[in-house]
Structure 1
Amino acid sequence: MQLEYIWIILAVIVLLAELWAINVVLRSTGGWETKGLWLIILIFVPLLGLIAWAMFGPKREMADHRKS
């Protein structure tokens, strides 16, 4: 497999993960300020934003969801 194909596959995987993260942010129960901030981070800093969202984003919301 050529190196170019590997980069294309990785780019598609990151793009799909970004779209999934954006979808989860839009469907979340947080306020519009929080959603807007996460969307800006995810769109303008894709890879680092995705990593930050995975580390800090859904865990807090999932913990809040389990309490109710």
Structure 2
Amino acid sequence: MEIFGIILLVLDIWAVLSVWQSSASGGAKLLWTVGIIVFPLLGFIVWYFAGPKGQAAAA
């Protein structure tokens, strides 16, 4: 089970970095970040399907 926790931590860090590199507003970035941190698994899943996209996706 430890490996699952490590993988989830890495994915959450990646998600938070992607949120802050996106073109979303500052408030949206903060809300997404809090959601990912407070609810690591659910926050990541919701962010993956509905979150703001990175700069490359917006271009």
> How high is the sequence identity, in percent, across the aligned residues?
35
Q: Could you tell me which residue of structure 1 aligns to residue 26 of structure 2? A: 32
Give the whole-Å Cα distance in 2 for the aligned partners of 1:35 and 1:29.
9
Matches within 5 A, 1:1-68: 7-58=1-52, 62=57, 65-66=58-59
Q: Normalising to structure 2: TM-score of the pair? A: 0.86
Question: Counterpart of 1:4?
Answer: none
Q: Is the contact made by 2:23 and 2:52 (CA closer than 8 Å) also made in structure 1?
A: no
Match of 1:3 in 2: none
Alpha-carbon separation, structure 2, partners of 1:28 and 1:55: 15
User: Which SS does the other structure have where 2:51 is aligned?
Assistant: helix
Q: Quote the RMSD (CA, aligned, Å).
A: 1.5
| TM-score, structure 1 as length reference | 0.75
The structure richer in helix per residue is: 1
- Unaligned ranges ≥5, structure 2: none
Higher gyration radius (CA): 1
Letter in 2 for 1:37: L
Any stretches of 5+ residues in structure 1 without a counterpart? 1-6
Higher RCO (C-alpha under 8 Å, 6+ residues apart): 2
How many residues are treated as equivalent by the alignment? 57
